[in-house]
């Protein structure tokens, strides 16, 4: 592989879209463009505004390239999203927003045909969180438009298609609670064949595969090198995991934080997953199954802190620990380890803004610790993304797991992981501050009391 240093990463999250330039020599972001990402509400159903995103992507690539030469382009996106394209590569149907409730209207019919959890590692999830349910609903609701589809693409590979004209799929997105993939056989699920979709599935390529150079028209429009290589790309949580697969010694776990908080265990304890608690089997960039669990922690944080101060003092922490002011699950219902429990504040009357922020941070850490326990996590835990900058979250996660927590210094671990697809060099352990479990017994007492309260709530 040609030595490449500066990799532009297209990173489409559910809440924000980013284009980051990653320096592989320092494993750091040296340029970043960002925009808010929200579904469009026109058309037949809420859908991703791919044309607005496309303009942002091209403008960002051109702007970054004017400042620093780009050597390759990689792609990572959120999961639960697929694209139906016709023979010319145009959309056969708008790209459905997975939070749309439409697929639930056919839940009984879909449940009768989907593959079992033991085959796919996919739990049954509401709304459009199972990508197979989205495709099923689209086929039933819009049969004429669905019939025009020539290919089913996962979301990262849709952007690769637009850049290169090459249609492909890849296992990290196929294996992300879609019902479409059997991680144990590394093949499409039996449901894909029952529904007659196998011929629509674009060829499966490795995440690191170079699909081709950028299309000539795009090179002229953007000023990018016409021979600019574009990589196949991967699912965002697995992008966060990849650097650790290449450098860390199992057992360890990685918590990728964004709109979703996704916990992934490598080399952990043997456990039986409980699909009713949003545990699942992901597939990593090397093609191997990874026990995982998740909840919508970033969304919960945004809802709970909107318009509120995030300042706190050590006295606020001591007060919350002493009075055991709790937020109990779940703010976002329908997914996560406590999908059917409604959020409740306990012993929190009269707390000030700093104490409230501390209790929210502790809640999110305790939810994450629950996810890690469900998947048998062991060894140190690395936190990637925004929550890595929340010292209260990191400290409580260490207290609740009784293991060290490493807060990644990368602004977006997903971008670093996606950039590594372009490298054939080895890498060293990523940087980050290590936090050991607090020695003050008040932290362990808080954890124990929160868990008792949650059990009583259920």
CATH code for the domain in which residue 192 is found: 3.30.420.40
Number of domains in the chain: 2
Mean pLDDT, residues 105-110: 98
Short-list 8, 23, 124, 28, CA closest to 76: 8
Cβ atoms of residues 27 and 91 within 8 Å:
no
The pLDDT assigned to 425 comes to: 60
- The answer, yes or no, to whether residue 436 has pLDDT greater than 80, is yes
Mean pLDDT, residues 431-453: 96
**Residues 264 and 203 grouped into a single domain:** no
Long-range contacts of 215-219 (CB under 8 A, 24+ apart): 215/163, 215/164, 215/165, 218/58, 218/163
**Residues 161 and 243 grouped into a single domain:** no
Residue 275 domain-assigned? yes
- The answer, yes or no, to whether residue 429 has pLDDT greater than 80, is no
Residue 78 domain-assigned? yes
Cβ atoms of residues 235 and 173 within 8 Å:
yes
The pLDDT assigned to 432 comes to: 86
Q: How far apart are CA 73 and CA 236, in angstroms?
A: 15
**Residues 266 and 380 grouped into a single domain:** yes
**Residues 101 and 207 grouped into a single domain:** yes
* Alpha helices (H) in 169-265, listed in sequence order: 171-174, 190-194, 216-222, 236-247
* pTM summary value: 0.86
398-416: b (≥16 Cβ within 10 Å) or e: bbbbebbbbbbebbbbbbb
Residue 345 domain-assigned? yes
- The answer, yes or no, to whether residue 239 has pLDDT greater than 60, is yes
Largest CA distance in the chain: 64
| Residue appearing with tokens 């991680």 | 183
Cβ atoms of residues 305 and 363 within 8 Å:
no
Cβ atoms of residues 229 and 270 within 8 Å:
no
Res. 236 pLDDT band, cuts 50 70 90: very high
Q: What is the DSSP letter of 201?
A: B
The pLDDT assigned to 413 comes to: 75
pLDDT tens-place string over residues 65-74: 999 999 999 9
pLDDT tens-place string over residues 184-207: 999 999 999 999 999 999 999 999
The pLDDT assigned to 3 comes to: 75
Q: How many CB atoms lie within 10 A of CB 101?
A: 11
Tokens of 325: 């002011």
The pLDDT assigned to 237 comes to: 87
Mean pLDDT, residues 307-315: 95
Which structural domain range is residue 97 located in?
6-232
Last residue of a domain, one of 182, 209, 232: 232
The strand pairing partners of 130, in sequence order, are: none
* Terminal Cα-to-Cα distance of the chain (whole angstroms): 54
**Residues 174 and 253 grouped into a single domain:** no
**Residues 115 and 168 grouped into a single domain:** yes
The pLDDT assigned to 240 comes to: 86
The pLDDT assigned to 348 comes to: 96
Res. 412 pLDDT band, cuts 50 70 90: low
The pLDDT assigned to 267 comes to: 95
The pLDDT assigned to 264 comes to: 95
- The answer, yes or no, to whether residue 18 has pLDDT greater than 60, is yes
Residue 1 domain-assigned? no
The pLDDT assigned to 410 comes to: 65
- The answer, yes or no, to whether residue 1 has pLDDT greater than 50, is no
**Residues 242 and 210 grouped into a single domain:** no
**Residues 196 and 266 grouped into a single domain:** no
Last residue of a domain, one of 208, 232, 256: 232
Tokens of 224: 């990018």
Please give the backbone phi and psi of residue 269, each rounded to the nearest 5 degrees, phi first: -70, 150
**Residues 206 and 252 grouped into a single domain:** no
Mean pLDDT, residues 333-353: 94
pLDDT tens-place string over residues 128-149: 999 999 999 999 999 999 999 9
Last residue of a domain, one of 216, 232, 248: 232
Q: How far apart are CA 46 and CA 43, in angstroms?
A: 7
- The answer, yes or no, to whether residue 427 has pLDDT greater than 80, is no
Residue 119 domain-assigned? yes
pLDDT tens-place string over residues 379-398: 999 998 899 999 999 999 99
The pLDDT assigned to 181 comes to: 98
**Residues 122 and 248 grouped into a single domain:** no
- The answer, yes or no, to whether residue 456 has pLDDT greater than 50, is yes
Mean pLDDT, residues 48-53: 98
**Residues 228 and 242 grouped into a single domain:** no
**Residues 425 and 449 grouped into a single domain:** yes
Total residues belonging to the chain: 458
């Amino acid at each position: 592989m040609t030595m490449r240093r500066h990799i532009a990463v297209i990173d489409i999250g559910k809440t924000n879209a980013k284009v980051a330039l990653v320096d592989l020599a320092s494993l750091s972001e040296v340029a970043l463009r960002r925009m808010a990402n929200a579904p469009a509400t026109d058309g037949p159903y809420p859908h991703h505004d791919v044309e607005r995103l496309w303009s942002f992507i091209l403008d960002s690539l051109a702007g970054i390239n004017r400042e620093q030469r780009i050597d390759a382009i990689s792609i990572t996106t959120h999961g639960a999203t697929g694209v139906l394209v016709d023979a010319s590569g145009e959309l056969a149907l708008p790209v459905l927003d997975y939070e749309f409730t439409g697929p639930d209207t056919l839940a009984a019919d879909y449940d009768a045909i989907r593959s079992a959890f033991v085959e796919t590692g996919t739990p049954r999830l509401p709304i459009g969180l199972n990508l197979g349910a989205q495709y099923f609903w689209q086929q039933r609701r819009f049969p004429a438009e669905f019939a025009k589809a020539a290919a089913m693409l996962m979301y990262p590979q849709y952007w690769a298609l637009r850049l290169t004209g090459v249609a492909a799929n890849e296992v990290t997105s196929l294996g992300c609670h879609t019902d479409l993939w059997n991680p144990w056989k590394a093949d499409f699920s039996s449901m894909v064949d029952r529904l007659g979709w196998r011929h629509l599935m674009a060829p499966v390529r490795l995440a690191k595969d170079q699909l081709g150079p950028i299309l000539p028209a795009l090179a002229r429009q953007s000023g990018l090198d016409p021979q600019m290589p574009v990589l196949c790309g991967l699912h965002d949580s697995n992008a966060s995991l990849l650097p650790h697969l290449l450098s860390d010694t199992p057992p360890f776990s990685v918590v990728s934080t964004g709109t979703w908080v996704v916990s992934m265990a490598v080399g952990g304890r043997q456990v039986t997953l409980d699909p009713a608690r949003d545990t699942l089997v992901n597939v990593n960039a090397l093609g191997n199954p990874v026990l995982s669990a998740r909840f919508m922690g970033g969304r919960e944080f945004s809802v709970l802190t909107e318009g509120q101060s995030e300042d706190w003092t050590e006295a606020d922490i001591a007060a919350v620990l002493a009075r055991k002011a709790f937020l109990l699950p779940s703010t976002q219902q329908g997914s996560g380890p406590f999908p059917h429990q409604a959020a409740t504040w306990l012993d929190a009357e009269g707390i000030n803004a700093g104490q409230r922020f501390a209790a929210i941070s502790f809640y999110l850490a305790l939810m994450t610790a629950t996810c890690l326990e469900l998947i048998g996590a062991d060894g140190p835990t690395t936190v990637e993304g925004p929550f890595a900058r929340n010292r209260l979250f990191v400290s409580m996660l260490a207290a609740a797991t009784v293991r060290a927590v490493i807060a990644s210094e990368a602004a977006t671990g997903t971008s670093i992981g996606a950039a590594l697809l372009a490298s054939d060099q080895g890498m060293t352990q990523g940087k980050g501050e290590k936090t050991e479990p607090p020695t003050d017994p008040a932290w362990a007492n808080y954890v124990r009391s929160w868990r008792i309260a949650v059990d009583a709530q259920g």
